[in-house]
Chain A
Amino acid sequence: MVIYVLKRLLALVPILLGASFLSFALARATPVDPVLLLLGDYATPEAIVQLRHQLGLDDPFLVQYGRYLWNALHGDLGTSLRGQTPVMREILSYLPPTFQLALAAMAYAIVTGISLGTLAATASGKLVDGAAMVIAFFGLSVPSFWLGIILVIIFGVQLKWVSVLGTGELKDLILPAFCLGLAPAAVIARLTRSCILEVVREDYVRTAQSKGLQDLIVSLRHVLPNALIPVVTVIGLQFGHMLGGTVFIEAVFARPGLGTFAIDAISHRDYPQIQGMVLFMATVFVMVNLVVDLLYGFLDPRIRLAQS
């Protein structure tokens, strides 16, 4: 097990190297010079040259990348061009509201998705099943940012039930979490439905039933653990996607967070911030996947056996 985890951690290296190089190169491929944005009205040729030098942007590309990589290996993601503050500190300061939103959305998606999926599986082929799947289809199809704007107009402008800009309180989470969790809820619902339908027709479930085991025991020991395995994987993957989805949702609901931070970093071409953000998100994404894979082992001993 330890070797497996170590192997997986080692596999992180090329992934993160790739992510760091891509973010480094892509940020610089955009046509806007951060120095011009920084200087604004103050962009005299002398000032441009001076500031480029001060920020180390006049070095060759590979020199800059090498320096960045070396520092990143030492846990230093650099300092932002604008604030001259450590990027890691900035990212961590924006993390809590994003994490809060992602967790709330995930909780909503899990509850709604699995309930809806189970309901549909239970009533397979009936009207309820069809209705549940239509709802799931809607959730999967509707763009979250569009839904967000519509909800803001209905509940914020027309009904005035919620604040358009947010108040900084927990109730601000309701609408953004709903929007963000809608698509994952739909994915989870569809998967849960098909998994349950698949598992209940397995031989071992029939065997368990024929042995005269109580339905509760059959559900607990045989149906639930097996039906949950793919769902857990998808939940893990959806959590990673969700962190990305916060970019739109945070913008529409005027929430602070990593999404706002990313938009701001990109619009000001703050290279260290963009690079730091991509590297951070890539790490989170891969780590979430790793955790999901390890959870597999707990849920399905067959996988543990295969590994050993």
Chain B
Amino acid sequence: MKPKLNRALSLKVAGLIVLVLLLIAACAPSQTTSPSTAVPTVAPAATTVPTTAPAATTVPKTEAPKVGGTLVLAFPSMAYDGLDPQSAGARLNDFIMNYLGIGLVTRDLKTGAFVPFLAESWKISADGLTYEFKLKRNVKFHDGTPLTAKDYVYTIQRHKDPALKSPTAQRSWGSVASAEAPDDYTLILKLSAPDATFMFGLALTPAFNQPIPKPAVEKMGAKFTTQPVLAGPFKFKESQTGFKIVLERNPDFDWGPPGASHPPYIQTLEYRSVSDYATILAGLESGEIDIAEVQAKDIDRLTATGKVHIEPLYTLSFDPTVAMNVNKAPWDDVRVRKAINLALDRQALIKVVQLSGRAEERRGPVAKGAVGYWQGVEKIGYGFDLNQAKALMKEAGYTEGSGGVLEKDGKPLKFTLKAWSQNPYPTVAQVVKQQLKALGIDLDIQLGPVTEVQPEMQSGKFDLGVVNMTGQPNGIALMRETFHSSYINALNLNRVNDPQLDELLDASLRASDETRALEFVAEAQKLAVEKAYSVPLYTVNKFYAVSNRIKGLVSNEYTFRYPNLFNAYIESGK
């Protein structure tokens, strides 16, 4: 029988409980008002900052740009707030680092040529071993101390110190044997060997090789990591761990690179950490986010709101490729290598890995966004042509055996295809297996963690594999790491040992003239494609959504990875 509740009693119980709980509740949230966690909002300084409005050639049209405003950039993972340019945090927060500091040289936004930045001029010795930079005068660090060549000497020494455990030291200064500062404005760097990638490195990654003031590092200790004193156009204002990092315009930075010739217009840069992609989209729609990376599938919907436009993001992703051990039969036959390239329907692959509209077929080893990419690969690279592929296999002496599998001298083309077990490699491997089956090659997929598969493949214990292209932004270094015989047992997974290619790659590294270096790299790409030494698959395209109130932002192949904000300004009244 159902118990009958005494109505009067139960109402009193209810009232009493609610009263007690309200008291508890009133106490509990009061702990949440702790002032230590409440952070004031950033007041846009637009109205208080004088308008400098210098005339710039690249900014449009409708109105003169004005100094001021807050530009909000959202990043999916910014929980770590380390801002020491030489720490791992700098690599993770490199967008921010590029505006907190500056490099010796930068690239012309229209031609890609190296142009002065912190170095007013430079000389490279005939043997390509000595770089002499003349530094710009009257540049100050954010704490007001003048920047001298001695700071650079300290910067390099600190970066290369193993105790710092810097992930970027080797690539930034690995080729520098010594650094000297004969006077305050002359920096002499001596390289251990000629390195045509050196200037590219300086221009591409100012986030990591920017100057650091010794007194500030020593005085601030651990605080330098979270509130660094650097020399860039913006300086650190405030941060809240895992929430935001705010930079403000550096009043001492009253100059700009050629092409802008003025300091940035934006008054405040606010970097927000937003780990959920749906929230990033909502922020773009509500107008709270000005710049964020977005996926191709959302482009139409976002632009339809009339609030944002899309800019290409030039960067490198770890694009997958098919690796083959070219020392082993049948991959030692160029006709077979070409046939594999021709038998792969890359458009179909892009669809299966759900990258339609977000990726394009790749024809050569160097990605389009990378320095030194040679356009000729688009003409001589391999598209999908199964008939031609079959003809090449026939020419190479293969005939159809049982089950449609090709064979030669009684040996069927049956191999293991190794692949990393994380996405998208298993899917890519599956598609490659299906498509090569149509050619007559039977593959058995073997998945494994990168930590197992990579060493195995590096030591040549494989037939075919699905791995990624190296994420190297510099074509000279990328080609060298991928195809030079000295990189066998390392990143030269295909184990290419071609003296002609080695010679071109050596020449590209030795060349002290960048244009010449790129010519050698172009020739190397041509040779690598002609001999079908690699099987590139696709390149993932990336995009930024940019609020329509932001004008003058430049994102092209020369701004690599970081849209250039020097000419960007916020349209008045928005």
Contacts and interface: CB of A to CB of B under 8 A. Distances in A.
B25 A255 contact: no
Given A85-B222, A165-B272, A261-B79, A115 B282 contact: no
Contacts of A111: 18, 21-22, 25
19 contacts: A31-B449, A36-B450, A41-B171, A41-B472, A81-B88, A94-B242, A97-B37, A103-B32, A111-B25, A114-B17, A115-B21, A121-B5, A156-B282, A168-B38, A168-B244, A169-B41, A200-B10, A219-B13, A227-B13
A100 interface: yes
Contacts of A71: none
Nearest to B82: A83
B12 A168 contact: no
B574 to A, nearest CB: 15
Interface of A: 30-33, 36, 38-47, 50-51, 54-55, 80-85, 93-94, 96-97, 100-101, 103-104, 106-108, 110-111, 114-115, 118-119, 121-122, 124-125, 145, 149, 152-153, 156-157, 160, 163-170, 173, 192, 196-197, 200-201, 209, 215-216, 218-220, 223-224, 227, 250-257, 260-261, 263-265, 267-268
B8 A215 contact: yes
Given A31-B422, A209-B9, A263-B275, A118 B14 contact: yes
Given A106-B28, A216-B16, A165 B274 contact: yes
A31 B13 contact: no
Given A42-B171, A164-B282, A224 B10 contact: no
Contact of A219 (B12, B222, B272): B12
B481 A44 contact: yes
Interface residues of B, number: 86
Contact of B9 (A42, A218, A251): A218
B241 A256 contact: yes
Interface stretch (B58-66, B161-169, B295-303): B161-169
Scoring A40, A82, A85, A254 by chain B CB atoms within 10 A of each residue's CB, the highest score goes to A254
B33 A170 contact: yes
Scoring A111, A164, A218 by chain B CB atoms within 10 A of each residue's CB, the highest score goes to A164
A164 B29 CA distance: 22
A42 B167 contact: yes
Given A31-B421, A200-B5, A215-B8, 11 more contacts: A43-B470, A118-B17, A165-B289, A168-B40, A168-B240, A215-B12, A219-B12, A250-B275, A254-B274, A256-B273, A268-B77
Q: What are the 6 A-B residue pairs with the smallest beta carbon separation, nearest first?
A: A264-B79, A256-B242, A168-B39, A201-B3, A31-B449, A256-B243
B170 A153 contact: no
A198 to B, nearest CB: 9
A167 B244 CA distance: 10
Contacts of B451: 31, 33
Scoring B34, B88, B487 by chain A CB atoms within 10 A of each residue's CB, the highest score goes to B88
Contacts of B473: 41
A119 B16 CA distance: 12
Interface in B16-60: 16-18, 20-22, 24-25, 28-29, 31-34, 36-41
Contacts of B162: 54
A111 B89 CA distance: 43
A83 B470 contact: no
Contacts of A50: 170
A264 B472 contact: no
Contacts of A251: 275-276, 279
B490 interface: yes
A263 B470 CA distance: 26
Contacts of B11: 122
B243 to A, nearest CB: 4
Nearest to B477: A44
B502 interface: no
B534 to A, nearest CB: 18
Contacts of B77: 263-264, 267-268
B484 to A, nearest CB: 12
B471 A260 contact: no
Contacts of A44: 170-171, 481, 490-491
Interface in B148-184: 162, 165, 167-168, 170-171
